[in-house]
Structure 1
Amino acid sequence: MPMSPNRSLRLGATLLLSFSSLPALAGRPLVTDDASVVAPGMCQVEMSAQRDPGQGWFIPACNVANDWEVGAGFGGVRHEGAWRRALAVHAKTLFRPLTEDGWGAGVTFAQQQLTGLNGAQEGLRDRSATLILSIPIASWAIVHANVGGIEHRAAGHGARTWATALETTHGHTGLSLETFGERGAYRTWQAGWRWSAVPDVLDLDAAWGVQHCDGVRANYAVLGLTWTFPR
């Protein structure tokens, strides 16, 4: 049975926003955002590749005015048997920076676009805003919580978004477990692993997740890296 236009838009938005993991907003492999930004005078590049569905991202970001992080990048998402170009931009600022012994809070604004969906010229364009809270619960563990909203411009409606995560660190290795989603659309569970190959310079990461959308369950796997360097 052919897919209805509304459902195609909804699934396309889900592909862009959930499987792309709101690219470059959180410290990889987290999808849940954290109350930190790239250090002053520094930039970073996040790259990732995902299977089921296939996609890849290249997202540079830099510190601006100490408490702001601004990033913009591009990628490709496989949808309906074809690769679609994808663009993403974001800006994040902190109300209170996260420290080892104190909570942190901030806000992120983002826009993502998937071009050429179903022959449309404008494709899918979604805008979102997210409030962030990060709370250390031990010297080796932090809890993150997000709440926000998203506007699906092509579909003409908005929705609430949410995410929670537990992030742990053991030497050069980090482990995470999180759940995130969009009210009335999808929910996802994801487990992640991170290894600092060169501390404060090069991190490698991997994640595996399970998403539920419109009664359909889908598994996915992601590999990525983060490179940090002086501006």
Structure 2
Amino acid sequence: MLALLTLGAPDARAARPMITDDARVVDPKACQVESWARRNQDGTNEFWAQPACNFTGNLEVTVGGAVTRESGGSTRGSAQVLQGKTLFKPLDANGWGWGLALGTMRDPGAGGGRNWYGYVPASFSFLDDRFVLHANVGWQRDQGTRRNHVTWGLGSEAQLSERTFLIAETFGAADGKPHYQMGVRYWLVPERVQVDTTYGNRFGGGGDRWISVGLRLLSPAFLP
């Protein structure tokens, strides 16, 4: 599951809480922090933080990670994520865009080894951005099993009101049952402070159910 989460590591955006990424990056010379807590069906709790900055205008760099706590209170090894993302065609209202993301993730479940991944995010805007579709296709190298996987994601954002959005998505790897997630995001302060909550599971069950709550903070441009 930690490996699947790298599909949307950075709000890299189809912003939190989506795992399927979008063809957007943080504003030039600005930063954001996405943080969230996730409760899994097996009783484990994940606590994530992923700061990201756009230093050049078209390169979003994310450095973050997570701590996982078992149901008994013990702490499992932490996950670490490093990702870069750029756009070849920015997403415009009523248009489309695409880009490329490359990254690595330290997976404590793989003996401390690193998984490597890359994917192409594409987004399609409708109704002046009130409805946006996102599609990802990519590759992941699982260091624990030394296998390569094709990864994919398909998601949507629907604006319900000026500050409220409904998200729905499905994602997975070509050699396993896909997952799905549904949730709501709400702007406490437009374009600056956002909160969200989601419910997710694997199609057909299998003990992968989870819920999450998150907080996203975005800065104005301040970098030199």
> What is the TM-score with the length of structure 1 in the denominator?
0.85
Select 1:198's aligned residue among 170, 174, 189.
Answer: 189
Using a 3 Å threshold, how does the CA distance of structure 1 residues 106 and 129 change in structure 2: closer, same or farther?
Answer: same
Output the amino acid matched with 1:67: N
Q: Are 2:37 and 1:46 aligned? A: no
Q: Match of 1:108, SS?
A: strand
Which whole-Å CA distance do the structure 1 matches of 2:47 and 2:219 have between them? 22
Using a 3 Å threshold, how does the CA distance of structure 1 residues 19 and 193 change in structure 2: closer, same or farther?
Answer: same
Count of matched residue pairs: 212
Which whole-Å CA distance do the structure 1 matches of 2:70 and 2:79 have between them? 11
Q: How does 1:163-178 map to 2 (within 5 A)?
A: 163-169=153-159, 170-178=161-169
Which deviates further from its counterpart, 133-142 or 156-165? 133-142
User: Contact 2:93–2:126 at 8 Å: present in 1 too?
Assistant: no
- In structure 2, the residue matched to 1:73 is 64
Which whole-Å CA distance do the structure 2 matches of 1:186 and 1:61 have between them? 30
- In structure 2, the residue matched to 1:93 is 86
- In structure 2, the residue matched to 1:106 is 99
State, as a whole percentage, how many aligned pairs show the same letter. 31
Q: Deviation of residue 83 (structure 1)?
A: 1.7
Which whole-Å CA distance do the structure 1 matches of 2:4 and 2:196 have between them? 18
Greater strand percent: which structure? 1
Which whole-Å CA distance do the structure 2 matches of 1:85 and 1:20 have between them? 14
Select 2:199's aligned residue among 205, 208, 221.
Answer: 208
Q: Which runs of 5+ in 1 are unaligned?
A: 1-14
User: Contact 1:105–1:131 at 8 Å: present in 2 too?
Assistant: yes
User: Contact 2:6–2:105 at 8 Å: present in 1 too?
Assistant: no
Which whole-Å CA distance do the structure 1 matches of 2:27 and 2:185 have between them? 19
Q: Match of 1:34, SS?
A: coil
Q: Which runs of 5+ in 2 are unaligned?
A: none
Output the amino acid matched with 2:59: W
- In structure 1, the residue matched to 2:117 is 128
- In structure 1, the residue matched to 2:216 is 226
Using a 3 Å threshold, how does the CA distance of structure 1 residues 33 and 20 change in structure 2: closer, same or farther?
Answer: closer
- In structure 2, the residue matched to 1:142 is 132
User: Contact 2:29–2:56 at 8 Å: present in 1 too?
Assistant: no
Which whole-Å CA distance do the structure 2 matches of 1:175 and 1:156 have between them? 37
Output the amino acid matched with 2:52: A
Select 1:185's aligned residue among 176, 180, 189.
Answer: 176
Which whole-Å CA distance do the structure 1 matches of 2:57 and 2:178 have between them? 34
RMSD between aligned alpha carbons? 2.0
Which whole-Å CA distance do the structure 1 matches of 2:60 and 2:83 have between them? 8
Using a 3 Å threshold, how does the CA distance of structure 1 residues 203 and 80 change in structure 2: closer, same or farther?
Answer: closer
- In structure 2, the residue matched to 1:4 is none
User: Contact 1:16–1:77 at 8 Å: present in 2 too?
Assistant: no
Which whole-Å CA distance do the structure 2 matches of 1:134 and 1:150 have between them? 21
Q: Deviation of residue 201 (structure 1)?
A: 0.7
CA deviations 1:131-165 (Å, max 9, x no partner) are 11101122310111100110112211101001001
Using a 3 Å threshold, how does the CA distance of structure 1 residues 33 and 22 change in structure 2: closer, same or farther?
Answer: closer
Q: Match of 2:3, SS?
A: helix
CA deviations 1:20-79 (Å, max 9, x no partner) are 764323311111100000001210000010001410111110012111100101211246
Output the amino acid matched with 1:86: A
Select 2:146's aligned residue among 156, 160, 164.
Answer: 156
Q: Are 2:2 and 1:16 aligned? A: yes
